Chain A
Amino acid sequence: MTVGALARERPAGRVTRVQALLWRRPWMRAALLLGPGLTWFVVIYLASLVLLLITAFWQINPFTTAIERVWNIDNFRTLVTDGTYRLIILRTIGLAAAVTITDAVLAFPFAYYMARVASRRVQTALFAAVLLPLWASYLARVYAWILILNHDGVLNWSLLLLHLPPASLGYTNWAMWIVFSYIWLPFMIIPTYAALERIPPSYLEAAADLGARQGRVTWDVILPLALPGIVAGSIFTFSLTLGDYVTPLLVGGAGSSFIGNVVYGNVGIAHNIPFAAALAVVPVAVMALYLVGARRLGAFEAM
């Protein structure tokens, strides 16, 4: 070895040795980067999901309310056979679907205007308008809606001024539909906007060039290309509605319970944790199915 070659060699310090090791073994680098997050995810999230699933197959002693670790599927049988629970599950899923469709219909023209029509300044203003409500507390916004929808709230007061018959929307499923649609709307607008903004203007010009009028361009080109964004948004609106229990509690009426409310009741009042777990598995399963469908429609590429 020549003197020159020796001079060029770096002293093999501790840091360089570690770096070299990481370079030779890529899995080590991956473990180092993903470790903390993955640990959290596995221990806290997945483990509790597994516990939930296991608990759902247990039961309680009806007299002592103590959990008995006896494997059975009675909890699920009750869910399917008992009309009350079936109704609650269908109500929850139905309303989540209604809210999702409503938000998609409201968000599309709004996002379209933001992405393709508005000037830079208007765009920024609209962005602020969409995101600003998210700064306010969820509870404050729900209470605001109570003030609007109440029997002597702003809505009826306005209707009275217009000499129209009052609408008693407060504490109904309609009220829940309105409040949910309002609260989750930004989560639909943003991904729809992102998808619309990514469509090159030349696609729209090409469609027009080939003879398509605006309506046809929207239907044939804009909508299919924005669909992944809309589906991505629907994951938020659907799952957030599905799992909510505060809005049904505050704006829903006597017969407006959601899955979440029944879970809450079974945990806090009835002390029937295995049944609460079985009930909680329902939205998880529904969401799993929903995500499989969303993946098919390319929603994950749009996020």
Chain B
Amino acid sequence: MRPAALRLEGVSKRYGRVLAVEDVSLAIAEGEFFTLLGPSGSGKTTLLRLIAGFEHPDTGRIELAGKDVTAVPPYARATNTVFQDYALFPHMTVAANVEYGLKVRQLPREERRRRVAEGLAMVRLAGLGYRRPSQLSGGQRQRVALARAIVNQPEVLLLDEPLGALDLKLRVEMQVELKRIQRELGITFIYVTHDQDEALTMSDRVAVLNGGRIEQLGSPVDLYERPANEFVAGFIGVSNVIERDGQRLVIRPERIRILRPEEAPDIGSQVEDGLVQDVIYAGMVTRYAVQLDRGGRLLVVQQNTESAAHASDLRGRRVRLAWRPEQVFNISAPQSDRPEPKGNA
């Protein structure tokens, strides 16, 4: 069996009284797009910095391609980082920035030139090598930072919220770009973000972090369809939790149907009555907030396959909601149900 590209064993890091990362263990396969997802302060960036070597763990082991690198300084690790603020050297041209890592490693000039050209072409910036970072747009700087990291052909590429500073349209564009580059290069990506959409669309697997611990680790489908607990259910997707018979249940909003007055539910469906409190038209979909008679509130999302001009008529009306029982997930307390936060790679 090939060794994992990266393995963490019982890694903890404490800043004063704050436990930033608590006993994290995971294994990431070679060529995997792995995302660390969590709110700010969840320890995801600290975890990335531990992997890069900018921080030293208090306990635990970090292995890169089967080698223990826990005590190896960042300049000797086979990782490269794309920083949140890009950290491009302002006194160097774009080409000199991209070349820097190759120059430090004393590669021959010809090879350096070739790799810089390849790197810039890969991020679609060919021909801009002579510019200074200050003469580039935010999206272009982001690409330079990416090129500067990938030309070194790292074992693992670390990305610290690289798209955080870009506007939405550019962000979606770059998500596609990143995924393409990752596929073409076959490099292992470890991607830090607080954006669940980004995590779900790009990743092979996602580790959801909260308070320095891994809450759940799995594929995007696992996380969305089978959230392990209320935190994951709420952080990924909309928190649609109701309490029935002492059990806390999650139902994803697009799995709920609003029945027409005379319509009978499908056989085996669960049905509850409620009052539509609010209707929000959002173009592609319409969202309904429904207060249930048995207590609790559910958000329902419906595709606007036909004109939704009459959707707002439902405001203040009584409706009947229906969903299939297999779409309901029980996230009540028993922590033993929680899947082991270990990689299955």
Q: A-side interface residues toward B, CB under 8 Å?
A: 200, 202-203, 205-213, 216, 220-221, 224-225
Contact = CB atoms under 8 A, between A and B. Distances in A.
B75 A200 contact: no
Interface stretch (B81-89, B252-260, B284-292): B81-89
Contact of B75 (A203, A213, A224): A213
A210 B87 contact: no
Contacts of B74: 205, 208-209
B81 A207 contact: no
A298 to B, nearest CB: 9
A204 to B, nearest CB: 9
A64 to B, nearest CB: 61
A224 B74 CA distance: 22
A12 B89 CA distance: 56
A209 B85 contact: no
B89 A203 contact: yes
A206 B87 contact: yes
Interface in B70-114: 73-76, 79-81, 83-85, 87-91, 100-101, 104-105
Contacts of B104: 210-212, 216
Contact of B89 (A209, A213, A221): A221
B213 interface: no
B52 interface: yes
29 contacts: A202-B83, A202-B85, A202-B87, A203-B87, A206-B81, A206-B83, A206-B89, A206-B148, A207-B100, A208-B73, A209-B74, A209-B80, A209-B81, A209-B149, A210-B80, A210-B100, A210-B101, A210-B104, A211-B76, A211-B101, A211-B105, A211-B152, A212-B100, A212-B104, A220-B89, A220-B100, A221-B89, A224-B91, A225-B91
A216 B89 CA distance: 14
A45 to B, nearest CB: 35
Q: Is the interface of A mostly helix, strand, loop or mixed?
A: helix
Interface centre among B76, B89, B149, B152 (most CB of A within 10 A): B89
Contacts of B79: 209
A224 B75 CA distance: 20
List 7 A-B pairs, minimum CB-CB distance, nearest first.
Answer: A210-B101, A202-B87, A206-B87, A211-B104, A208-B74, A224-B91, A209-B81
A216 B101 CA distance: 11
A207 B87 CA distance: 9
Given A200-B85, A210-B80, A221-B89, A205 B54 contact: yes
Nearest to B152: A210
A205 B81 contact: yes
A119 B100 CA distance: 31
A220 B75 CA distance: 14
Interface string B142-179: 00000011001000000000000000000000000000
Nearest to B154: A209
Given A207-B100, A208-B74, 8 more contacts: A200-B87, A205-B54, A209-B52, A210-B75, A210-B148, A210-B152, A211-B76, A212-B104
B92 to A, nearest CB: 8
Nearest to B77: A209
Interface centre among A205, A211, A224 (most CB of B within 10 A): A211
A205 B90 contact: no
A211 B165 CA distance: 26
Contacts of A220: 89, 100
Nearest to A212: B104
Interface centre among A209, A211, A213, A216 (most CB of B within 10 A): A209
Contacts of B73: 208
Contacts of A224: 91
Interface string B60-78: 0000000000000111100
A220 B91 CA distance: 10
Interface string B222-251: 000000000000000000000000000000
Contacts of A210: 75, 80, 100-101, 104, 148, 152
